[in-house]
Amino acid sequence: MEVLIVEDDPLHRSYLHDAVRAALPECDAVIEADNGRSGESLARQHRSEHIVMDLQMAERNGIEAARTIWKERPNTRILFWSNYADEAYVRGVSRIVPEGAAYGYVLKSASDNKLKLALRSIFMEAQCVIDREVRGMQQKSLGTVNGFTDVEYEILIDIALGLTDRTIARRHNLSLRSVQNRLQQLYEKLNIYQRMGDDSEEGRYNLRSRAVAVAVLRKLINYSALERAEIELNEWLGAKP
């Protein structure tokens, strides 16, 4: 059995290495990559079936790397090991995990033991392991209570990219008015309609920009989500005509 580690911080990488060695005596070889790109090519080269991957890396982030790896070999088992449980990351991961694949999401702040347990569960038992806090995130985001529909999230991304209503409409094959409906819906959920100082009459925000701002502050959007969205936008722009 062979494990591939993709992590750009040397300290964390060697820590992971030790943890893998300790948790998986049946593991013969540990390979390391220090960014997403080399992670992809090492995975392809070794036909890796067990990967531990950091999410935020400078060169090429973990979600992108995981996506191409899973596209080639959907049975690969990947444990994501990340600093944060931003909704943007959680959504990004759960959007790309293939049907029935075993994967995990563990925070770096978790204890040694938790990490080792997760390693065994995923790689040996093919069982999904999602950190408590991340799980909470998922439920909150996918649950209907305070969460956001895929549709709402989609349009949030679109305005975050700076698209006009008309462009969004064409991108999703909708009418202009429908786009604006969804926007209203989004503003409502993000609670944008509050006045700034509740004092005088004047005090509204620019709804569109404000929505993006609070989405960022609530970590519904982060840099890597925007980066991916921008790439997808460009693909669509290229394929349209």
Interface residues toward DNA, by CB under 7 A: 149, 151, 164-166, 173-178, 180-185, 187, 193, 204, 206-208
Selection from a copy of itself, DNA, none that 146 binds (CB < 5 to 8 A by kind) is none
Judged by beta carbon, residue 58 or residue 126, the one nearer a copy of itself is: 58
Spell out the alpha helix ranges (H) of 76-206.
Answer: 87-96, 112-125, 132-142, 150-161, 165-172, 176-190
Judged by beta carbon, residue 93 or residue 225, the one nearer a copy of itself is: 225
179 near a copy of itself, judged by CB under 8 A: no
Judged by beta carbon, residue 18 or residue 125, the one nearer a copy of itself is: 18
Residue 217 to residue 211: CA distance in whole angstroms: 10
Helix axes 150-161, 165-172, angle to 10 degrees: 130
Residue 121 to residue 125: CA distance in whole angstroms: 5
Question: What SS3 class is residue 173?
Answer: coil
Angle, CA 15 vertex, CA 102 and CA 97 arms, to 5°: 20
Selection from DNA, a copy of itself, none that 149 binds (CB < 5 to 8 A by kind) is DNA
159 near a copy of itself, judged by CB under 8 A: yes
15 near a copy of itself, judged by CB under 8 A: yes
Selection from DNA, a copy of itself, none that 126 binds (CB < 5 to 8 A by kind) is none
Torsion from C-alpha of 195, 197, 200, 203, nearest 10 degrees: -50
Judged by CB under 8 A, the chain residues 61 through 120 that form the site for a copy of itself are 83-84, 108
Selection from DNA, a copy of itself, none that 177 binds (CB < 5 to 8 A by kind) is DNA
Q: Give percent helix, percent strand, percent coil of the chain, each to the nearest 5.
A: 55, 10, 35
167 near a copy of itself, judged by CB under 8 A: yes
